[in-house]
Amino acid sequence: MSAGSSSAFAARGLAPYLFLAPAALFALVFLVGPLGFALWVSTTDWNGIGAARPVGWGNYRYLFEQDPFFMRSLLNTFLFAAGSLIVGVPLALGIAVLIARSRLQSMWRMLFWLPMITNIVAIAYIWRFLLNDTNGLLNRALDLLGLPGPDWLTGINWAMPSLIMVSAWMTLGHNVLLFLAGLNEIDHSYHEAAELDGAGPLRLFWHVTLPLLRPTLLFVTVTSLITALSSFALMLVMTEGGPARATTVAGLYLYDMAFTDLRLGRASAAAFVLAAIILAFSLAQFRLLRRGGVERH
Amino acid sequence: MRPPHPLALLRYAALTLGALAMALPFADMFLGALRTPQELLAVPQVYWPRDPQWRNFARVFDELPMATWLANSVFVTSAITLLQLITSAMAGYALAKFRVPGTTLMLRLVLGAQMFPFFLLIIPIFFLLRFVPLLGGNDLWGQGGSGLLGSYAALVLPFAVSWYGIFLMRQFCLGVPDEVIDAARLDGAGEFRIFLTIVLPLIRPGLATLGIFVFVYHWNEVIWTITVTRGASGLQTLPVGIYLLRGAFADQSTEALQRAAICISVLPVMLVFLGLQRFYVRGLTAGSVKG
């Protein structure tokens, strides 16, 4: 054993740790540290400038018992998430099924993908212009048909459905891509066998494709739900939560609480509540969709 | 060729309708950028510009700090992309090819960390950056100034490492044969030389995938950038600058300029995407759906 080889061994022993050092340091400074800090802030009345007084569970209790808008913002969040799932997932599945059986797959996929590479400010303004009460393309088209156009973004009852529509449009390509990946994994022999048995396209989809697509369906539903529950960029840029808080989702509410009102304690508590809700939802959904039926194919 | 099945025709008709619904909003945005102020103020507004104002795309550079925003977007996005490529490749390689105490824990961290939503971290990271001692006019206790908030570091550092990126690079490094690495070791190559000259070239497709993914994502990032640069106009990126300066477009006759600026903010990503589409798609499907 020469000194050289043992030092080489020492270097190799240290190497993985050096490779991991940046990530480990980052985890400490930008993940563990901030999470601990936020947890502590959520038990104080800190306003970002002065001293922080401990208030225990006070902020959490305040959110549920006294805060006039927190429950409303949670309701808006659920409304937005439910709408996005109900509109977005079946639409994406349908389009993916159509694309999977067509030529020029990558061209179709790319077209539906366009909004996914567009910044949210551009998306918000594209749709603000399209949905403008008087000059927007949509209401002008409705006008030509002799139909009264709704006040898409300024009407209290219309703003949330409008946002759901824009969000579905924006995320469609992502879900189409995932469904396509799932569809391409399905063994063709299943379809051929069913077709030989005389199954029509609808029965084929319902009894063969859909059950085999279950893992993808689960994945798409869970990720869409998590994304929808935690998203607020679209609301911030497009409606700023209005009109009359109709589109103030929980994420936006706590963001404003922190950076406009400087109520950091309450905002941090709200952030943990929302994170806990998202975690609970995704766990429940996994259980529900896993139970009974194909676990893996 | 046999004639197309009627069902197939229906399918293509539906797909074309869907594609129109995706493309028309972009076309509407672009058309509007070419209108004259008179056309914008007319009642009803003139939809199809009769005298296309191509100048509008140049005018936004004269009348808005577009050049600064564009430079900031390019710089911040490139810096984040470069940093994430380096940190992801390093950590991904270590997690794929070394079995030493701590790697299992780190892998769990990489998978678990992706579960924390950004809204949970945005408040504490903002204030931690603000209270960095001795920087940005702060004293030893982090008081008095703005810390790192008024600097590019505030835009770049919180995204220096991506847990998704590490995971993706680990998947690619797993495909590097052990024999190649061991042979290099027998030849006396040091661990860092092996990483630089053997591993990195072999995972180049993975790096391309991650690079384009990160570039597109961070070019479009707005929430964090709005939060940090609300009071630091010199640091704003293209989308954020356009958003925060929305008050300047309150007059309807300037709508075309706002639309032109937005078109310009979308264009670079579209070009990058069209050029490198195959890498991008691979990054999105890698490791997501495992039936």
**C-alpha distance from residue A170 to each of A164, B86, B148, B288 (Å):** 10, 31, 34, 20
ipTM: 0.89
3-state secondary structure of A44: strand
Say how far apart CA A106 and CA A110 lie, in whole Å.
Answer: 6
Residue A206 amino acid letter: W
Bridge partners (DSSP) of residue A13 are none
**C-alpha distance from residue B31 to each of B59, B114, B160 (Å):** 16, 40, 38
Chain B neighbors of A99, CB-CB under 8 A: 15
For residue A101, report the phi and psi dihedrals to the nearest 5 degrees: -100, 5
For residue A54, report the phi and psi dihedrals to the nearest 5 degrees: -70, 135
Chain A neighbors of B281, CB-CB under 8 A: 106, 109, 177
When CB atoms are compared, the residue of A20, A117, A278 closest to B106 is A20
Shortest Cα distance, chain B CAs vs residue A245, angstroms:
19
Predicted pLDDT of residue A2: 40
Residue B269: closest C-alpha in chain A: A117
Helix A3-27 with B103-113: angle, nearest 10 deg: 20
Calculate the CA dihedral of residues B137, B140, B141, B146 and round it to 10 degrees: 10
Predicted pLDDT of residue B284: 62
When CB atoms are compared, the residue of A174, A181, A267 closest to B123 is A267
- Where chain A has pLDDT below 50, the residues are 1-10, 292-297
Q: Cβ-count burial of A54 within 10 angstroms (0-12 exposed, 13-18 middle, 19+ buried)?
A: exposed
**Taking CB atoms and an 8 Å limit, are A38 and B124 in contact across chains?**
yes
Domain topology for B65-285: MetI-like fold (1.10.3720)
Predicted pLDDT of residue B46: 85
| Mutate which: B5, B16, B22, B269, vs A, most A CBs within 10 A | B22
Chain B neighbors of A17, CB-CB under 8 A: 94, 100, 102
Residue B136: other Cβ atoms inside 10 A: 20
When CB atoms are compared, the residue of B103, B259, B285 closest to A181 is B285
Structural domain boundaries in chain B:
65-285
Predicted pLDDT of residue B287: 47
Domains and CATH numbers, chain A: 59-290 (1.10.3720.10)
Predicted pLDDT of residue A291: 61
Q: Which two tokens stand for residue A99?
A: 């694309």
**C-alpha distance from residue B116 to each of A75, A279, B17, B111, B119 (Å):** 22, 9, 38, 10, 9
When CB atoms are compared, the residue of B11, B23, B239 closest to A121 is B239
Q: Are B248 and B254 in contact (CB under 8 A)?
A: yes
| Mutate which: A14, A118, A213, vs B, most B CBs within 10 A | A118
**Taking CB atoms and an 8 Å limit, are B22 and A115 in contact across chains?**
yes
Predicted pLDDT of residue B34: 93
Q: Are A53 and A45 in contact (CB under 8 A)?
A: yes
**Digits of tens for pLDDT over chain B (291 positions)?**
566 677 788 889 999 999 999 999 999 999 999 998 888 888 888 889 998 999 999 999 999 999 999 999 999 999 999 999 999 999 999 999 998 888 999 999 998 898 899 999 999 999 999 988 877 778 777 777 788 888 999 999 999 999 999 999 999 999 999 999 999 999 999 999 999 999 999 999 899 989 988 998 999 999 999 999 988 889 999 999 999 988 888 888 888 999 999 999 999 888 888 888 777 766 666 544 332
